[in-house]
Amino acid sequence: GQIVHLADYRPTDFVLERVDLTFELDPRATRLESRLIFHRREGVDAKAPLVLDGDELTLTELRLDQNELPAGQYDLSPSSLVIRDLPETAPFEVTVITTINPEENTQLMGLYRTNGVYCTQCEAEGFRRITYFPDRPDVLAPFTVTIIADKAANPVLLSNGNFLGGGNYDEGRHFAAWFDPFPKPSYLFALVAGDLGVVEDTFTTMSDREVKLKIYVEHGKEARASYAMDALKRSMKWDEEVFGREYDLDIFMIVAVSDFNMGAMENKGLNVFNDKYVLADPETATDQDYANIEAIIAHEYFHNWTGNRITCRDWFQLCLKEGLTVFRDHEFSADQRSRSVKRIAEVRHLKAEQFPEDSGPLAHPVRPTTYREINNFYTTTVYEKGSEVTRMIATILGRDGFKKGMDLYFERHDGDAATVEDFVKSFEDANGRDLSQFSLWYHQAGTPLVTASTSYDAAAKTFELSLEQAIPATPGQPNKQPMHIPLSFALIADNGSLVNAASVSGGEVTGDVLHLTERQQSFTFSGVGSRPVLSLNRSFSAPINLDFKQSADDLVQIARHDTDLFARWQALTDLALPNLLQAARDAREGKETVCEKAFINALLEAAADETLEPAFRAQALALPSENDVARELGGNNDPDAIHSGRQAILKQIAKAGAEVFGKLFESMKTQGTFTPDAASAGKRALRNSALGYLALLDGGAERAASAFAAADNMTDMVHALTVLAHRFPDDAKTAEALGAFLKRFEANALVLDKWFAIQATIPGASALSRVKALLEDPHYAPNNPNRVRSLVGSFAFANPTGFHRADGEGYRFLASQIIGIDPRNPQLAARILTSMRSWRSMESVRANHARSALVEIERTPSLSTDVRDLIERMLK
Ligand code: HT7
Ligand code: ZN
């Protein structure tokens, strides 16, 4: 793969006016006749040829205005079709006939088959695996699609847009025609055909149009789509109410498939989903599954405006649709559930996934300027940091200013392929504010480090806050400019009330937000009668690392009194971290560790506080993970020491809180029939975290086993089974429970994924032999991405002690898996390989083993561009 540079962008020489596709479906030899109407763009040289993209295609026929094209008029290569001597000004029609083999398409890009269903995935560059085409997001056209297929095997024939009509055809075949009037780029094209069940509903839009809603699933799974349908209708309503966005076609369809590389895809009017994010019922889905379904259904639906109606000019602008749409789905979930608890979960995820990416060899700006393989840029930086950048625009401009900017963006750019600059300019123009310094967030990679210190002058009644920002060097960006960092803050008095300073000087302050814009900046608050406690970066208003040495007393004060629940959680985390870090150091030196009482007391106080929502208390009890501790340690990491140290702390908390946890386990039991609402889910989460602590006390295995036996929903069952398997892997009760679980859910692929993941994440060196044995289990499915992620992915991403074995066997195992998966499915291989991105932060013995494993992959002949691109960046 060639390196692509943003600076090389230029529009196409030809404008595509219309697309007319006719598919004759066959599992091994699908014929596609594609008719494309083009005209030469004004001012383009009359000799310029038409260049179409292709990938692994067989060209069967090529015509220009219905006449076969002579061989001398075009050049064919594996990746392109170049046609010369085209009309200077008049529109012309190119007919391209290709033959494709969906059955052999294991990459799951382009047209492929999953469980006998034809399905497409075209983002980012999959359409070129279907036909020769200007496969880039700035080429938009209306599409007409006709699908012809065997009627018995494929009663359902779907594509984008509105249904035009259908009927019987020859030889037991039938056809359906679809027209999508909204000009779209090829990456939003979709086709689905097969024998599927359907769940139907309707939605009446704000201008009183009735839209048909259909969710297609495998036969027999229809009942499991009802939560997704409900989430869809809530998403449609929310987008009207909050963003003023109405749905635009007569029909909106979702299809759930079992083989899919990512979560879902927002094809116009025909979203295709990984069935993991559609199917749910109380017996088989956890609360987390329900929350994911709600979020991803919303995310793909919201793309209809942010991504489809306004798309990206080029793939460098990916965050324009992804960061913004993640922000929109976060806001949706926050409105549907508890805003603070949602924010805590988002920040946990951001720090666990994006912060390591931003501090390692794969770091890149939210809006990159080069790429070799675009599939590798569907990253947590583009998505999650992209969302944080959008959130900061909202924080800086305020609710109304943000809305004005969004409205202007929709008004100006509907129908466009836009850029990040267009987006930012809409906010600038709508608010009369210069956001040029703020825009550095799009261009500078790396997580800023903000160092804060405070001093109080009792005589002058002033409180001073000194801030300094530093943005670490990242690949290709050694030097950084200071950024505009919006920091939400509060001053808390001794009695717990919030203090309003008479005035603040030293920089811009709007409401409860300080605007840090210089490298070093001091803010002075005047008229402050006694020393306040400062709560900084409340709600995680900026995605930064904050170095602010606060005393345990100050943190306890925030944990007790801040009106921002996120800040209370952050304070408890800040109390926990030094204990976990010290425990890891102690474990490494073979010393006993002692957890600070102030922390344990604050934690148990929050856990027992009935004025706090259970979901929040559960978040507080879920201490920073082993990976969080490793990140805080920053380097020379020993996962075994981190694990033992953390276990020691957990045990001390369990002992001190035995009574609290016992009570919570009893009182948080949800009664009656299962409902997946946030309040019930919160109670289950709190009860289950109590169980986690109780299992560390005498009789823990019995407790966990009986919780497993008593569980009447998947959340409780998975949790109890995880506690049992992770704490007592060799206990007979664990084998018994795993066996019972398998027997009961053997026929449900999504539940089987959980069974694999629980075992893949059992801590300790023996994990590897367990994982290897599971690879041979008859239920393992090496071609199903969900199953591979549940076993190999869970092991590499979520089992620090098992994967990062000191003898390097975990890394060697991963290398052999990557080498095996890559030829079949490069995207899947590449994604799992990113589990090695922080290899340099391991202690030297492990780091050396990791390097050797990466070099072994690098030496493999004919690696995909996906894997090669990552390996080269990781080894650089
Ligand atoms: N926009 C979608 C991205 C996606 C994708 C990208 C590369 C390869 C396969 C893929 N499947 C879906 C998903 C989204 O962010 O909404
Ligand atoms: Zn998306």
Instruction: Please tell me whether residues 750 and 876 are part of one structural domain.
Output: yes
pLDDT category at 871 given cuts 50, 70, 90 is: very high
Domain boundary among 424, 443, 462: 443
Q: Residue 232 domain-assigned?
A: no
Of the chain, the end-to-end C-alpha distance in Å amounts to 18
Q: Is the CB of 121 under 6 A from ligand 1?
A: yes
pLDDT computed for residue 89 by the predictor: 95
CA of 265 to the centre of ligand 1 (A): 5
Residue of the CA atom closest to atom 6 of ligand 1: 123
Instruction: Give the mutation target among 55, 122, 262 for probing the ligand 1 site: most ligand atoms within 8 A of CB.
Output: 262
Q: Quote the DSSP letter at residue 532.
A: P
- Quote the domain boundaries for residue 498: 449-548
d(CA 299, CA 231): 11
**Token pair of 294 as six digits:** 């709600």
Instruction: Give the mutation target among 265, 377, 383 for probing the ligand 1 site: most ligand atoms within 8 A of CB.
Output: 265
In this structure, are residues 165 and 343 in contact, taking their beta carbons and an 8 Å threshold? Answer: no
Burial of 168 (0-12, 13-18, 19+ CB in 10 A): exposed
Instruction: Please tell me whether residues 439 and 456 are part of one structural domain.
Output: no
**Active-site residue, selected from the candidate residues 218, 300, 331, 384:** 300
Instruction: Please tell me whether residues 502 and 538 are part of one structural domain.
Output: yes
Instruction: Please tell me whether residues 762 and 794 are part of one structural domain.
Output: yes
Helices (H) and strands (E) in the chain, counts: 29, 34
Q: 220 phi and psi, to 5 degrees?
A: 90, -10
Q: Residue 27 domain-assigned?
A: no
The yes-or-no answer on residue 300 being catalytic is yes
* pLDDT tens, position by position, 331-382: 999 999 999 999 999 999 999 999 999 999 999 999 999 999 999 999 999 9
Residues less than 5 Å from ion ligand 2, measured at CB: 322, 325
Q: Which residues on adjacent β-strands are paired with residue 200?
A: 214
Please identify, by atom number, the ligand 1 atom nearest to the C-alpha of residue 322.
15
Q: Residue 837 domain-assigned?
A: yes
Q: Which residues on adjacent β-strands are paired with residue 215?
A: 199, 254
List, in sequence order, the alpha helices (H) in 94-173.
Answer: none
Nearest alpha-carbon partner for 574 in 592, 560, 556, 561: 556
Q: Is the CB of 262 under 6 A from ligand 1?
A: yes
Q: Is the CB of 380 under 6 A from ligand 1?
A: no
Amino acid at 389: V
Half-sphere exposure (Cβ direction) of 608: Cα atoms closer than 13 Å: 14
Share of residues in the chain with pLDDT > 70 (%): 100
Q: Is the CB of 261 under 6 A from ligand 1?
A: yes
Nearest alpha-carbon partner for 768 in 738, 724, 812, 719: 812
pLDDT computed for residue 595 by the predictor: 98
Strand arrangement, sheet containing 210-217: 197-204, 210-217, 251-257, 270-274, 264-265
* pLDDT tens, position by position, 786-811: 999 999 999 999 999 999 999 999 99
Q: What is the CATH number of the domain that holds 838?
A: 1.25.50.10
Residue of the CA atom closest to atom 11 of ligand 1: 262
Q: Is the CB of 866 under 6 A from ligand 1?
A: no
Instruction: Please tell me whether residues 510 and 528 are part of one structural domain.
Output: yes
CB atoms within 10 A of CB 388: 25
Domain boundary among 548, 577, 600: 548
d(CA 504, CA 524): 5
d(CA 677, CA 337): 8
d(CA 139, CA 173): 33
Q: Residue 327 domain-assigned?
A: yes
Residue of the CA atom closest to atom 15 of ligand 1: 322
In this structure, are residues 441 and 462 in contact, taking their beta carbons and an 8 Å threshold? Answer: no
SS3 719: helix
**Token pair of 865 as six digits:** 């561009």
Maximum pairwise Cα distance, the chain: 95
Q: Is the CB of 281 under 6 A from ligand 1?
A: no
Instruction: Please tell me whether residues 476 and 515 are part of one structural domain.
Output: yes
pLDDT computed for residue 684 by the predictor: 98
Q: Residue 348 domain-assigned?
A: yes
**H/E run at residue 505:** strand 503-505
* pLDDT tens, position by position, 77-95: 989 999 999 999 999 999 9
User: Which ligand approaches the C-alpha of residue 125 most closely?
Assistant: 1
pLDDT category at 641 given cuts 50, 70, 90 is: very high
Half-sphere exposure (Cβ direction) of 135: Cα atoms closer than 13 Å: 22
Work out whether the CA dihedral 674, 679, 685, 686 comes out positive or negative.
negative
CA of 733 to the centre of ligand 2 (A): 42
Torsion of CA 439, 442, 445, 451, to 10 degrees: 40
Number of domains in the chain: 3
Which residue carries 């084998």 as its tokens? 735
Please identify, by atom number, the ligand 1 atom nearest to the C-alpha of residue 374.
7
User: Which ligand approaches the C-alpha of residue 377 most closely?
Assistant: 1
SS3 196: coil
Q: What is the mean pLDDT of the chain?
A: 98
Residue of the CA atom closest to atom 14 of ligand 1: 265
Q: What is the CATH number of the domain that holds 347?
A: 1.10.390.10
Instruction: Please tell me whether residues 755 and 841 are part of one structural domain.
Output: yes
Q: What is the CATH number of the domain that holds 522?
A: 2.60.40.1840
Q: Residue 195 domain-assigned?
A: no
pLDDT computed for residue 78 by the predictor: 82
Domain boundary among 490, 515, 548: 548
Burial of 404 (0-12, 13-18, 19+ CB in 10 A): middle
pLDDT computed for residue 1 by the predictor: 74
**CA angle, residues 417, 421, 423, in degrees to nearest 5:** 70
Q: Is the CB of 123 under 6 A from ligand 1?
A: yes
User: Which ligand approaches the C-alpha of residue 109 most closely?
Assistant: 1
* pLDDT tens, position by position, 728-747: 999 999 999 999 999 999 99
Instruction: Please tell me whether residues 537 and 507 are part of one structural domain.
Output: yes
From residue 238, alpha-carbon distances to 120, 300, 335, 576 in Å are: 29, 14, 9, 38
Instruction: Give the mutation target among 105, 109, 123 for probing the ligand 1 site: most ligand atoms within 8 A of CB.
Output: 123
d(CA 305, CA 243): 10
Q: Is the CB of 265 under 6 A from ligand 1?
A: yes
Report field, pTM of the whole predicted structure over 0.80: yes
In this structure, are residues 832 and 795 in contact, taking their beta carbons and an 8 Å threshold? Answer: no
d(CA 266, CA 402): 25
Q: Is the pLDDT of residue 576 over 80?
A: yes
Q: Is the CB of 125 under 6 A from ligand 1?
A: no
Instruction: Please tell me whether residues 397 and 497 are part of one structural domain.
Output: no
pLDDT computed for residue 737 by the predictor: 98
pLDDT computed for residue 126 by the predictor: 98
SS3 94: strand
pLDDT computed for residue 235 by the predictor: 99
Q: Residue 296 domain-assigned?
A: no
Instruction: Please tell me whether residues 424 and 538 are part of one structural domain.
Output: no
Q: Residue 613 domain-assigned?
A: no
CA of 262 to the centre of ligand 1 (A): 6
CA of 305 to the centre of ligand 2 (A): 11
Instruction: Please tell me whether residues 414 and 476 are part of one structural domain.
Output: no
CA of 260 to the centre of ligand 1 (A): 10
Q: Quote the DSSP letter at residue 366.
A: S
Instruction: Please tell me whether residues 419 and 517 are part of one structural domain.
Output: no
CA of 304 to the centre of ligand 1 (A): 14
Q: Is the CB of 367 under 6 A from ligand 1?
A: no
Q: Is the CB of 300 under 6 A from ligand 1?
A: yes
